Structure 1
Amino acid sequence: MAIPVDEVIAGFSDLIDRIESRWQAGEVNPPAVMIDHPDWASSINAKYVSAYQAIYGLCHHFYGNVVVGGSGEMADPGREDEEREYGPEENAALIPIPQGYGAARLADMIPYSTMYARRTIFVTTDVVSNGFISYSASRDPLHRMSLGSVQELIRLNLQHRRLIHSGQALILPMRLTDWYTSLSQHDTEESVAPLFQDPHALRFMPLNSTASFSAPSAGDVLEVATLLLPYFPQATLEEIVRLKEEETDAFIQFSSYLKRKLSALPEVASVRDIEDIRADINSGVSRLRAEAKKISGLRLIRNAEMGTLGVTIAVLGSGVGDLVSGIAGILGTASLVGLMRSFKEVGDSERQLRDSEFFIPYLLKSS
């Protein structure tokens, strides 16, 4: 059953504001470790529990994959998908952010992601854990929570409160684990960010900042296309939201169009098929630039100077190894890598990955 996601986000936004006011009033934070049930009696700790519950609901809504282990019954992934409604998030973007990624660098991504996505999910490297230990039926179970991770997520969302308040973005953990253990059973439920997406079920636009990726050698990055997309770097968040919600849906629709083309790439049978997909994408970019130029002339944005953002679509070859562990991408195949090597041999001159601000990779599926 789908959660009322906009209501949950609004409630979470209000809750973290109230937690911040407690911090500013000097209320002592509990240590950033797992703590026991009796310590949850204070008001601030009750708010941490509420924050966890909101994060739990949001992770399960957006990630959509639940793994149940231990002595409990295994979940049926197909049935879980049928019970959730994903339509409202079909134009969302998923952007992983590595540990230590500064607020200023994250802010640099916001004008693009806000314009081209209905909502952006920024994924941290955090793992949030919450559970109960029951030793006796006559006593309350002990409560364990990874408070440090919860507090860090609250801080990150507060740093970008305007985005959170407007419903344009969320910062969520890479993994959330909920568990229960007793003398007779142990059950675990996990929700994991879909960093590796099946091309036939591409829910999120997977974007990665090139500034956070240690690129392997040029021979292992096989470029399909580099898109020079229009955006308005000086526009305010309010102007971007008003533009895409009241004036034009061209940027959101381009994201849907691009996802359809990205889904088709793993099915190519020849170099010519790759060339056709790239030509189709470039035609869509040309139409979008014309729309952006028209918007610039209408003065819908106070500072409507149009900028260009580079987004590279690439296939990562077999040499990338563990470097793909922290990026979001689309599952590719060995045959796609082979075709891309042929495409590169007859194609354009090489372009460095770092010439673009973002990249969308196809990741080799090990099967």
Structure 2
Amino acid sequence: MVSGRKSKDFAMASRFAFLFLFSLLIATSFRFSVAGDDVTTGAAASDDLLIRQVVDHGEDHVVDENSLLNADHHFAIFKKKFSKSYASQEEHDHRFSVFKANLRRARRHQKLDPSAVHGVTQFSDLTPREFRRQVLGLNRRLRLPSDAHKAPILPTNDLPADFDWRDHGAVTPVKNQGSCGSCWSFSTTGALEGANYLATGNLVSLSEQQLVDCDHECDPEEKDSCDSGCNGGLMNSAFEYTLKSGGLMREEDYPYTGTDRAACKFDKTKIAAKVSNFSVVSLDEEQIAANLVKNGPLAVAINAVFMQTYMKGVSCPYICSKNLDHGVLLVGYGEGAYAPIRLKEKPYWIIKNSWGPNWGEEGYYKICRGRNICGVDSMVSTVAAVSTS
């Protein structure tokens, strides 16, 4: 009996030690993926550049994990594919160093997020700090006001298994915010474009530049927290501005420039869409799905740490921060994606991004539904439009 008890105790201890070491490995990998991403020199530079990625040789060419990447070769392909050029040899060498660091980073992301494909993207020559500053832009100083209007609870028993507003004509083509932290404005216009379509039957592309130039709506509960063009903003504040100003103009009447140095050119005689009301959706995935189906695409905030290296597939990382730093548009959901880390098929959200159609899956991102992955369920807003006619 004593011998049997010792064997059981030893087995339990071994199992605990394995779980502890596995957790430590994941935590260490994630720490280096997030905290160590700006390091481009030192011992890590000699790391093996093994990575699963897709690069363009006239057609997609997959380099599997058993291949040793030639960094010079892939940097040359990267520069050609994304029309990259640098002002000096010193800048070129610096960007090559950043590129190699991002190959290692993509390799770490691949291990942490095996159901997606990570590799070289148009952002592979940017440090994570540059990436955050240039192409994110959700103002983290801003938060939903405590008195924000809550969306009513909707029935969820008859929701379709799969739904995509692109199939119903409510989503404009993917846009590109460029090197301006104006993601919040694209999330705002995307939601209002869908709502306006439901109200009028017409899909109209709305002006992000109007929001960048003219929207300085502030959070009354937090000093100095205002929508600030390329320096960030918040979708609900932008809805508030749109409600107060009377509406948004068409993109063709107020085109996007990707800078915030110009004066506001808002013309009330050219309003194309008006906000009737907006509200915050409950932190409940069934309610988010119900609001999506009933009210159109939803403005959503997300943590974009895995998006810099994302190429395709369903992103379902083992661990992801819920610190929100990017505004996107939720346009649909599905049920049929296989997620190896869950050992079963996993439902997912379909996200429209604002980095152009050459990023991700033709400008779109798929992320797991369930457990608020990367904070995707934390800040969700729905907007209603009123016909301008």
Question: Fold match, TM over 0.5?
Answer: no
Q: Which has the higher helix share?
A: 1
Normalising by structure 1, we get a TM-score of 0.28
Greater fraction strand: 1
